[in-house]
Amino acid sequence: MRRKLFYHLMKIFLTALLGTVIAAVLVRLAPGFDSDAQQLDPRLSHESVEALRLRRAVNGNIMKFCIYYLAASARGEFGKSLTFNRDVRELIAERLPVTVRIVISGLAVGWFFTVMVALSAAALRFGVYDAIAGIVAGALLCIPTAALGLFFMMWRAPASVAIALVVFPHTFRYARELLVSKYETPHVMTARAKGLGPLRVLVFHVLPVCAVPLVAVAGASVTIALGAAVPVEVLCGIPGIGQLAWQAALARDLSLLVTLTMLVTILTVGANSAADLLNSSQPRATA
């Protein structure tokens, strides 16, 4: 268990590092990175301009730039947003709770739909119901998240439901297939043949076996929900980190974008690792 915990902490660290380095390299390579509007200020003396030039020269080497950036991030210094003229840390502290709230409620609603529809489809095995559920899930997979966001904006429906509708088709297919396969295992068929009620079969024989893989998918669905939060927040006008990233992208506020990328990377890898650790701590039910 300790080894697994160490492995996951390393994974979070490495992925965050990779995300930050990719984003930092992209920022460094962006056109216009070397120029600084401050250097054009006629009120500055020659020495001041030279000092500014030297400060930027430190960032000339990509490796150096990454190391400086990571060292500053480790100290909790994420710089200042050019768009908002505010500290990046302040902006994130303000916006993150909004995103966390809609992502958690979206995941809760999405998983409620998934479990309810998949359970009923697997337990009933009623062809028409199963087909309708499959078609609805398939259709939702074919609609861009941003288009769903647009419809939700028009209907003034809660944004979390839009996120739920993005999460649902991804999780439903897997959950349905898993439940159907577990309902067909010999121990479940024996339990049914012995006359156990559907609820007892579900609670004592199907759900314990399905819980482990479903928890793993729940971890992966956090990534989907965070990805969906960007267009939904933008189109529904919700001031979360998705909207912040979009505003930063439009304004080319790259330091803010890099920090947001690093933050979301840590959140997604953290969620996946937590699901994995939860799985490994659970006693395995034998089928």
Residue 165 vs 269, nearer CB to another protein: 269
Closest approach, Cβ 78 to another protein, in A, equals 15
Which 67-126 residues touch another protein, going by CB under 8 A?
Answer: none
Kindly state the tokens that stand for 277. Answer: 């650790």
Beta strand spans in the chain (E)? 80-81, 86-87
| Sign of the C-alpha dihedral computed for residues 164, 165, 166 and 167 taken in this order | positive
Kindly state the tokens that stand for 258. Answer: 């890099």
Q: How far apart, in whole angstroms, are the C-alpha atoms of residue 64 and residue 58? A: 7
Based on the shown chain and the rule CB under 8 A, indicate whether residue 260 belongs to the binding site for another protein.
Answer: yes
Based on the shown chain and the rule CB under 8 A, indicate whether residue 21 belongs to the binding site for another protein.
Answer: no
Q: How far apart, in whole angstroms, are the C-alpha atoms of residue 22 and residue 127? A: 48
Q: How far apart, in whole angstroms, are the C-alpha atoms of residue 205 and residue 182? A: 9
Backbone φ and ψ of 83, nearest 5°: -70, -45
- Out of 99, 145, 221, 279, which residue is the one contacting another protein (CB under 8 A)? 145
With contacts defined by CB under 8 A, name the span among 29-37, 44-52, 88-96, 114-122 that binds another protein.
29-37
Secondary structure of 58-115 as H, E, C letters: HHHCHHHHHHHHHHHHHCCCCCEECCCCEEHHHHHHHHHHHHHHHHHHHHHHHHHHHH
Residue 104 exposed, middle or buried by CB count within 10 Å (0-12, 13-18, 19+): middle
Nearest to 78 by CA among 67, 66, 95, 90: 90
Residue 206 vs 271, nearer CB to another protein: 271
Nearest to 219 by CA among 263, 167, 262, 261: 167
- Out of 1, 2, 3, 29, which residue is the one contacting another protein (CB under 8 A)? 29
CB–CB of 55/34 below 8 Å?
no
Based on the shown chain and the rule CB under 8 A, indicate whether residue 269 belongs to the binding site for another protein.
Answer: yes
- Out of 185, 187, 252, 274, which residue is the one contacting another protein (CB under 8 A)? 252
Q: How far apart, in whole angstroms, are the C-alpha atoms of residue 129 and residue 6? A: 45
Q: How far apart, in whole angstroms, are the C-alpha atoms of residue 186 and residue 252? A: 59
Based on the shown chain and the rule CB under 8 A, indicate whether residue 223 belongs to the binding site for another protein.
Answer: yes
- Out of 8, 15, 164, 238, which residue is the one contacting another protein (CB under 8 A)? 15
Based on the shown chain and the rule CB under 8 A, indicate whether residue 62 belongs to the binding site for another protein.
Answer: no
- Out of 36, 191, 246, 274, which residue is the one contacting another protein (CB under 8 A)? 246
Residue 49 vs 146, nearer CB to another protein: 146
Which 158-177 residues touch another protein, going by CB under 8 A?
Answer: 169-170, 173
With contacts defined by CB under 8 A, name the span among 67-75, 92-100, 113-121, 253-261 that binds another protein.
253-261
Residue 58 vs 250, nearer CB to another protein: 250
Based on the shown chain and the rule CB under 8 A, indicate whether residue 147 belongs to the binding site for another protein.
Answer: yes
Closest approach, Cβ 142 to another protein, in A, equals 4
Based on the shown chain and the rule CB under 8 A, indicate whether residue 4 belongs to the binding site for another protein.
Answer: no
Binding site for another protein (CB under 8 A): 11, 14-15, 18-19, 22-23, 26-27, 29-32, 138-139, 141-147, 149-151, 153-154, 169-170, 173, 223, 226-227, 230-231, 234-235, 245-246, 248-250, 252, 254, 257-258, 260-261, 264-265, 268-269, 272
